[in-house]
Structure formats: structure tokens, C-alpha cells
Structure 1
Amino acid sequence: MKPAALTWAISSSLPSLRKSERKVAEFILANLTDVIRMRIVDLAEKAEVSEPTVVRFCRAVGCDGFQDFKLALAQQLASSPSYGQIAVTDQDSVAEYTFKVFDSTVDTLLKVRDSLDLNMLDQAVQALCVANRVEFYGFGASAAVATDAQHKFFRLQVSAAAYADPHLQNMSAASMAPGDVVIAISQSGRTTTLINAMERVKSRGAIVIAIAPSDSPVANAANIPLTIDVKEDFQIYTPLSSRIAHLVLIDVLAIGVAQHKGGRLQEHLLEMQLGLEVLREPLENH
């Protein structure tokens, strides 16, 4: 198991664990930095379970045993020093949970930035710069990202639309042509309806750019995959850092297109800004 996947494996396995094993998981998620200094007997006592239960839990999340589990956890905390400070609890003050949410998001953005495939990113920008039309597909939280993306590209004088309805996505896909681009956005990377629409877009000769986890069905179905791997903490308090990362990647693509358009776009954006002033209260002179 990759160290970065350990806490995700613990969180995602909670529903399938036995009651006693779940007690171990919940204690660990709330005390990540303390656990790496514990003996198995200490963890068993703190979680109020037996030592064999701790071993079974470790194996349930993909580790060979308790020592292997502690090593993987220590590696994750070393690669992400802020992680152990992020899990929100019922006892957190306003200041504590505020800092945890911000720290989690910043940590995620830095990791995504450093892992981006810049060659794929350049291919995506080049495809968008020559596209006749650009459309964004997304469901759920990804629908909000698609709508934001449509707004950004509309301002860049790009014919853009966003669809969160499967019927509209399929109608859009059926009308695509060579030279058109669809950006498919997915946090899970496994949405079957989205994959079907992507295949239809490709069958029409258009290009599909995916923003999705690596090695996911959505990423694999794209002509140009832009992969973002964010392991969310699937507890009751869940800041969706992946959604923020997707929004920032859309900003990167928009900047790339704006840079390509150059001076022509600046005049258009200035005119648009002036046109919006009539909708705003005038600034007071101080």
C-alpha cells in the first residue's frame, strides 16, 4: 500500500469493519500522531479492544501487521506534516477547525501542483485555444466546478456551456464535431453516465479532456487526462479539497488560454468590466 493511501483506506473501510475494529479505526483517525509512538498493547487498551482485534484491523486496511501499519502511517505523516493536525473533532474551537480546513486545502493544492503532468496540461491548453466550442460536464459537486468553468471561459470569448443533466450531456455529445472540446470533471472518476457521454463525444471526433483521479475509468476514457489524486477524509466533517483543486486547475487552463489570446482579450475584458459597473453601487469617496 502507498503510504498516502493509508488514512483514506481507514476512512473508506469504516462501514465494512466489525464493531470492535471500527473502534480501533476511529481512535487512530482521531490520534494519528500519537499512534505511531504506541505499542500494540497501548493501542488495544486505548481503543478498548483486544490485541488480536488490532492485528485484524491492520490487515483489513492492507497492512501485514501492526508494525507495518505504523511504518505506513509514519511515512504518510512525514510526507504530509500537516495531516495529523487536520482531522476535525467535536471539541474543536472555531479557531481550531478553521485552521484545520485551511491547512488541509493548502496541503492538497501543493501536492496537486507538484504532481501535475505539465505535458498533458500543455496539450489541454492547445486544444482549448483552437476549439470551436468548449463544454463542461459534471455531476454533484463537480457540477459546481463545471458552472464556474463555463463562466470563466465565457469571459475569454470562448463559446462555452456547462451541463449537469445526463440527458443534456448526451444531447450535447451527439452534437459535437471535430474541433470541439469537452472537459469532463469527476471527483470519483467512476461515474458511468459521464463515461458514456465521453465515449459519444469521442465517436463524433471531438476531444475529451478529463479532470479526474489517475487510473480511473473517467481518466482512462479521455483523450487528454489531467489527473488529480486527493484522498478525502470520509468522516462527518469533510472539506472537499478535491473540489478546490479542480477549481484551481480550471483557473490554470483559463490562464493558459488567456495568455494565448494576448492583447485582443485584454480590451474585451476591460469592456466587460465597464459594462458590469452599472450593476454595482458606486464607490464612496473617502
Structure 2
Amino acid sequence: MQSSSLLNQIRQQFAALRKSEQKVASYVLKHPSEAIHLSIADLALATEVSEPTVVRFCRAIGCKGFQDFKLQLAQNLAQNSNFGAYRIQQTYTPATLETVFDNTIESLLKAKNTVSAAIAEQAIIRLANSERVEFYGFGASGIVAQDAQHKLFRLIKHCAAYTDPHMQAMSAATLGPDDTVVVISQTGRTDALLQTTQLVKQASAKVIGLCPEQSPLALLADWVLDIGIQEDTDRYTPLLSRIAHLVVIDMLAMGVALTKEPGINNQLKQIKENLRKLRLNKKEK
């Protein structure tokens, strides 16, 4: 069942539901935005039914269980929302923490559906065969760039991350046709980042963009991993896009590691051995 049809599905199956399940259905149809913030116990209390009844209701409308129902409902409401699955409330409530988890799950599902597997494979092959790989980003995207460098430096001989426009400009001047830059941006519209990306292109290096499709940055990139997650950055630092970017970086790192096997295995074993020497033995205190 598609998430966009969940509320219609409830309306269509309403008459076929048990009377106790209809209580849950009525509440969800009248208060969908509130329902996604409730635990199964809270929803059971609000509708004056038992928790097993809530589970039966979820399965009756085609969901695997309560969590799947909440995720489907969040996706349904996301079509009319400006900021991810649904907005975090103005004040803290016990549901706030669960909302963060649900929003993050929703953002990862969106990224999974928008990132092209074929383009990701091409990007992985390019990274695995590049002489140098560098990561550019500002702000929260700069932190993702640093994490990417931490993941990839064990797999690629020359790997660096730059989060300052001056350092990026100097880096771009030293690149060549065998080098690749991964440019990370939540909006794909940061002017300074666009300028340094143009310098990379002028140096004949290749660009992999982690950004929204059809953004100015995407138009400059050779490969685009489409991550177009909208969120309320006026009130909060980017939460959802950062997690999605990190997961895509993990995907790229895993792909590079598998592509470079078995030659990379000895290097990784040596790194693990060096790290083991830095740890205390269990007998030591």
C-alpha cells in the first residue's frame, strides 16, 4: 500500500472494521497529526480500546504493525508538510524524542528512494580509481565531509576534507583529471561552494554531488546522489539531511572497500593491528 493512500484506505475499509477498530479509525481520521505523536498505549487510551485492538486496526488497514502504521501516516502527511515528515512541536513534550526518531526514519526512506543505485555504482567506481579524493562542505555538511574523510582515508591513499572556502580554492588549484571531489550540500545553493566547485571543474577533476537534484550544485556535478530533504533550518540546525548524507557516505565507503578488495585487506589489517597496540589489555588497569 502506498503511504499517500493510507487515509483513503482507512475511509474505504471503515465499514468493514470491528466497532472497536472503528473508534481508532475515527480518531486517526479526525486527528492524523496528533496520532503520529502517540505511543500505542496513548492511542489506545485516547480511543478507549485495548492495545491489541490498536494492533488489529493497523493490520486491518494493510500495515505490518503499529510502527509501520505511524510511518505510513507520516509519509501521507509529509506531502503537505514543508519540513520533513512532520514538524517538531514548539515546546518540549514526551513525544518530542519519538518525533526525532520518526522524522529520521522518514528521511532515510526518502533518500533510499531518490538516490539512484546506478549512479551510486558509477560514483563508487570513480572513487575507487581516483588518485585523490577530497570532500567539500560547510556547516553541518562540513561535519559530514570530515566524517567522509575519516571513512575513506583508510581505503584511498590521498584523501582530505576541507570546510573553509579558501582551503577549498587552494585544493582545487592542485587537482587533476584523475582526482575526484565529493561536494556535500543540504541546499545545493551555497554561493561559495558553487564557486569552488567551478574551480574543480576548471582543473578537469570530476565532481560527485550529494545535494538536491536540479539544484545549481547538481547542474555542475558529474554524478548526483539526490538527497533533497526539506527541514526547518530557521529554528534548528539541519537534522534530517545530515543523517541522510552520513548514510550515503557509509554506502560509498562500503562500495569502495568491496571494489578494492582483496588488495585493500592487508592495509586494513595493518591499521587494525596499529589500533590494537594503542588499547590496554584486559588484564591492565
What is the TM-score of this pair, normalised by structure 2?
A: 0.68
Corresponding residue for 1:23? none
Q: CA contact under 8 A between 1:101 and 1:239: conserved in structure 2?
A: no
Matched, 1:161 2:163: no
The residue matched to 2:123 in structure 1 has which SS?
helix
CA distance, structure 2, for counterparts of residue 131 and residue 91 of structure 1:
47
- The one-letter amino acid paired with 1:224 is W
- Cα displacement string for residues 104-123 of structure 1 (whole angstroms, at most 9, x for unaligned residues): 11111011112211221112
Q: CA contact under 8 A between 1:212 and 1:219: conserved in structure 2?
A: yes
Corresponding residue for 1:204? 203
Q: How does 1:1-286 map to 2 (within 5 A)?
A: 33=33, 76-77=76-77, 83-84=85-86, 87-93=88-94, 96-234=95-233, 236-237=235-236, 240-283=239-282
The residue matched to 1:210 in structure 2 has which SS?
strand
Give the length in aligned residue pairs. Answer: 216
- Cα displacement string for residues 150-191 of structure 1 (whole angstroms, at most 9, x for unaligned residues): 111111143100001111101111111011000111111111
Alpha-carbon offset, residue 265 of structure 1: 1.7
- The one-letter amino acid paired with 1:173 is A
- Cα displacement string for residues 14-73 of structure 1 (whole angstroms, at most 9, x for unaligned residues): xxxxxxxxxxxxxxxxx8726xxxxxxxxxxxxxxxxxxxxxxxxxxxxxxxxxxxxxx9
CA distance, structure 2, for counterparts of residue 237 and residue 92 of structure 1:
17
Q: CA contact under 8 A between 1:88 and 1:237: conserved in structure 2?
A: no
Corresponding residue for 1:62? none
- The one-letter amino acid paired with 1:92 is T
The residue matched to 2:263 in structure 1 has which SS?
helix
Q: CA contact under 8 A between 1:88 and 1:100: conserved in structure 2?
A: no
Q: CA contact under 8 A between 1:189 and 1:218: conserved in structure 2?
A: yes
Q: CA contact under 8 A between 1:232 and 1:238: conserved in structure 2?
A: no
Alpha-carbon offset, residue 239 of structure 1: 6.0
Q: CA contact under 8 A between 1:188 and 1:213: conserved in structure 2?
A: yes
Q: CA contact under 8 A between 2:208 and 2:221: conserved in structure 1?
A: yes
Q: CA contact under 8 A between 2:135 and 2:181: conserved in structure 1?
A: yes
Q: CA contact under 8 A between 1:185 and 1:210: conserved in structure 2?
A: yes
The residue matched to 1:160 in structure 2 has which SS?
strand
- The one-letter amino acid paired with 2:152 is F
Alpha-carbon offset, residue 284 of structure 1: 5.7
Alpha-carbon offset, residue 79 of structure 1: 6.3
Q: 1:234 to 1:76 in 2, by over 3 A?
A: farther
- Cα displacement string for residues 105-145 of structure 1 (whole angstroms, at most 9, x for unaligned residues): 11110111122112211121111111000011111111101
CA distance, structure 2, for counterparts of residue 74 and residue 129 of structure 1:
38
Corresponding residue for 1:28? none
Q: 1:190 to 1:135 in 2, by over 3 A?
A: same
* Unmatched tracts of structure 2, length 5 or more: 5-30, 35-72
- Sequence identity, in percent? 43
Q: CA contact under 8 A between 2:176 and 2:204: conserved in structure 1?
A: yes
What is the TM-score of this pair, normalised by structure 1?
A: 0.68
CA distance, structure 1, for counterparts of residue 248 and residue 85 of structure 2:
22
- The one-letter amino acid paired with 1:263 is P
CA distance, structure 1, for counterparts of residue 280 and residue 97 of structure 2:
32
CA distance, structure 2, for counterparts of residue 159 and residue 208 of structure 1:
16
Q: 1:234 to 1:149 in 2, by over 3 A?
A: closer
The residue matched to 1:214 in structure 2 has which SS?
coil
The residue matched to 2:98 in structure 1 has which SS?
helix
The residue matched to 1:263 in structure 2 has which SS?
coil
Alpha-carbon offset, residue 101 of structure 1: 1.0
The residue matched to 1:155 in structure 2 has which SS?
coil
- The one-letter amino acid paired with 1:33 is S
Q: 1:282 to 1:104 in 2, by over 3 A?
A: farther
